[in-house]
Every structure is written in structure tokens, then in C-alpha cells.
A and B are shown apart, each in its own frame.
Chain A
């Protein structure tokens, strides 16, 4: 079965640079989520999109922005990178629709490991 695809898998940037992370959800999934997992921490929700519209927002810095495109892929744009942005960034997707329940399980991509030097 197709899974969530994220690119790149690893990224090294300097402070104050910009990074763009890409996510391709599971086909027919209508919702994309972004999470940030710092070293030794649990994943923290950043932002989500349902049918290309922002549906929920967590503790996402103003330096970050995201969008979902017509083909349902999503991009997380991170500017003015700081050392503290070094983390594992997950994209997840689910089928929300009207089903509810188990069908709304979020399936995670392999993550993008970002290191800011």
C-alpha cells in the first residue's frame, strides 16, 4: 500500500537560511498534518489542511508557513532558521470525510530530519 512520502529525508542548513519540506499524502486522503519532534521529545502539532484549506493550527512559529496544493501535496516553508528548529519533521495524512472513527487514523511519513548549524 502507498505510504506518505516526504522529501528530503535529511537537510542541513545554516542559521538564518530557509528550508522547504515537501509531503505527498496517501492517495485519496483529504487531510495533511505537520508535526515537529525535537530530540527526546514527543511530536508536537504544527498545522493541518483539509481539502487544501487550513483546518487547525498549533504552536507554529510565525517564521513557518505551509500550504496544500491542488494535487494535495503540502509544503512547509521555514525561514530565518534557528538552532532550535533542528528536529524531525513529520507529515501525516488521513481520510477525515464523514467516516469518523478508525478511518481517521493519521499515517505518518518517514520524516525529514533537519539540522540547523
Chain B
């Protein structure tokens, strides 16, 4: 069963605007971590932001913030003041803390920032 769902294959945003990339997850483990990674066309996988299941506050890292709604099992990434360099593929991923260490990724959202 798909554990991470990203329903937006592609998103467009104008420079300087904010954009929200959606991510929903499914787990029965009470302890888990949620991650967002950025993959530019060059291919590397860049860590952006982390949210733990027990964290009381939404995570923020510079222009990135995570809208974490635990009851709805969603962990949307918000990018404020988009820049041309934000154009990339964005992956949501989850790690369950019972037993296994692997990350399970969603199918990704391709973001295109236009001038």
C-alpha cells in the first residue's frame, strides 16, 4: 500500500509568490518522521525540512515551512517567496521508527517557477 501520496504531479508558481506542495501519509506507527527533499535537474537529493510525529510546532527552515496536520495525516511543504532556483522535483518521504530505517518516498511534485 502506498504510504506517501503526492497528488500534484506538477505545480506552477510565479517568482516571489508562495506555493504549497501537498503530501499525505499512512502509518500505524505512532512514532515517525516526515522529510522533504528537493531534486534539481542535476540529480542530487537535497534535504529541506524535517517534522517529527511528536513535534508540537510546525517545522520551519528559512523559506520552507511544513504545515503538519497529524489528525489528517498531512505534511504539506510551503515555500514562501519562490525563486527561479526553486524549480525542481520535490519529494515527501517518511521514516517509521519501529524496526526499520528506510525512507519511503512519494512520487514527487515537479515545481516550475516562472519569472
Q: Measuring CB to CB, which residues of chain A are less than 8 angstroms from any residue of chain B? A: 31, 33, 35, 41-45, 48, 50, 55-56, 58, 88, 90, 92, 94, 96, 100-102, 104-111, 113
Contact = CB atoms under 8 A, between A and B. Distances in A.
A48 B103 CA distance: 11
Contacts of B105: 42-44
Contacts of B43: 88, 110-111, 113
Nearest to A101: B52
B70 to A, nearest CB: 16
B44 A58 contact: no
Contacts of B44: 108-111
Contacts of B106: 42
Contacts of A111: 43-45
A43 B102 CA distance: 11
B28 to A, nearest CB: 18
A90 B37 CA distance: 13
A111 B100 CA distance: 23
B91 interface: yes
A108 B35 contact: no
B102 A33 contact: yes
Interface of B: 33, 35, 37, 43-47, 50, 52, 91, 95, 97, 100-108
B97 A106 contact: no
A105 B47 contact: yes
A101 B102 contact: no
A93 B43 CA distance: 17
A117 to B, nearest CB: 20
Contact of B101 (A31, A88, A110): A31
B74 to A, nearest CB: 18
Contacts of A94: 101
Contacts of A43: 45, 91, 103, 105
A50 B102 CA distance: 12
Contact of B91 (A31, A42, A50, A96): A42
B107 A42 contact: yes
Q: Which 9 A-B pairs have the closest CB atoms?
A: A108-B45, A45-B102, A42-B105, A102-B50, A110-B44, A56-B100, A101-B52, A43-B105, A56-B101
A33 B107 CA distance: 19
